[in-house]
Amino acid sequence: MKKVILALIVTLLLTNASVVTAEIFPALELERNSSGYTLPGTNRTHGWEFTVTEDLQVVGLGIFDLFDDGLYLSHEIGIWENGELLFSTTIPAGSTETVLIDQFRYIETEPFWLTAGETYVIGNTTPGDPFVGNDNLARITTLPSITYERTVISPSWSGFSLPTMEREFYLFGPNFLVIPEPMTVVLFGIGAVIIARRSRM
């Protein structure tokens, strides 16, 4: 699992000004077994269910960008807890307002927490962009503190809605960036930080 180290210059109000290095990790990585893809024709929400084993602070949400050239259309994305939408946003089309990390295109979010022991669902709308189907995936790898449970889709063609139905064929898909507790810092814009280096765990 790769970890993305973002060098952030943060002015600490309660201490002397200092440089804080926050280790920000993608929740999930995909290893593909082919160059194939699927172009969805229906407006459904595809996603995956997961459980966290430690408190995690989410600082960004992202969507798979097959050709690393920006999304063709904007997509809604969100995380649900116990059937309730915890946080949602829209990943814009194009590439200028997002950050590309390992084929996922992210935007900054207001930081929010995932609680150890709880189960969540992340999902995004799919029409208009090519996504990777499970028949093109060799392996899915998550952080050790995240347990991948199953992949789910919304039960109807109703756009952005809670994906609850498990299905044999599915698309990827959504991802998120986290800072493991207690490594919490204030982010002033993912687009403004310096990607200092990437290293193999």
Share of the chain above pLDDT 90, in %: 40
pLDDT band of residue 175 (cuts 50, 70, 90) is very high
* Residue 188 pLDDT > 70: no
Dihedrals φ, ψ of 7, to 5°?
Answer: -85, 115
**Buried b vs exposed e over 139-172: b needs ≥16 C-beta within 10 Å?**
eeebbebbeeeebbbbeeeeebbbbbeeeeebbb
Q: Tokens 């920006």 appear where?
A: 70
pLDDT band of residue 15 (cuts 50, 70, 90) is very low
Nearest to 177 by CA among 118, 70, 98, 71: 98
Residue 123 lies in a domain: yes
Q: Tokens 């960008």 appear where?
A: 65
Say how far apart CA 95 and CA 83 lie, in whole Å.
31
Residue 125 lies in a domain: yes
Domain of 93 in residue numbering reads as 27-176
pLDDT band of residue 12 (cuts 50, 70, 90) is very low
pLDDT band of residue 81 (cuts 50, 70, 90) is very high
**Tally of domains within the chain:** 1
Residue 109 lies in a domain: yes
Residue 193 lies in a domain: no
- Average pLDDT rounded to a whole number, residues 94-121: 93
Dihedrals φ, ψ of 118, to 5°?
Answer: -95, 155
The three-point CA angle 111-91-40 to 5° equals: 135
Say how far apart CA 20 and CA 184 lie, in whole Å.
10
Give the model's pLDDT for residue 186.
40
Within 8 A by CB and 6+ apart from 162, the residues are 45, 80, 83, 85, 121, 123, 154
Residue 44 lies in a domain: yes
- Average pLDDT rounded to a whole number, residues 97-121: 93
Residue 2 lies in a domain: no
Identify which has the larger pLDDT, 100 or 38: 100
* CA–centroid distance for 111 within its chain: 13
Residue 4 lies in a domain: no
* Residue 99 pLDDT > 70: yes
Residue 3 lies in a domain: no
Using only C-alpha atoms, the chain has a radius of gyration, in whole angstroms, of 16
Q: Are 54 and 145 in contact (CB under 8 A)?
A: yes
Largest CA distance in the chain: 54
